[in-house]
Amino acid sequence: MNSFIDKLQTDRVQLHEEMSGFMSQCRDLILGFHILTPNAGEITQGFAIALKFDAKKADFDRLIGIHPTVAEEERSVIPLPGIEPGPCG
């Protein structure tokens, strides 16, 4: 594992062992969304609607991801090994 990530004190989670995809979790609130991938606008539009209507992380957890798509990865996050989630301020 990257030594920078090992020392990083954060509340971020890692997407399926990809170091370039992080999602920040904070008390079930979703504060924003960024993704760099081909056709990102198609994914972003759905999340923009969800954010507009104050969707929570639990709302995304109840969705069934369309497979195979990049967007399905946004609902399945796993904690970074050795890093405990901290409070968000």
The residues assigned a catalytic role are 67
Write the secondary structure of 1-51 as one string of H (helix), E (strand) and C (coil). Answer: CCHHHHHCCCCEEEECCEEEEEEECECCECCCCCCCCCCHHHHHHHHHHHH
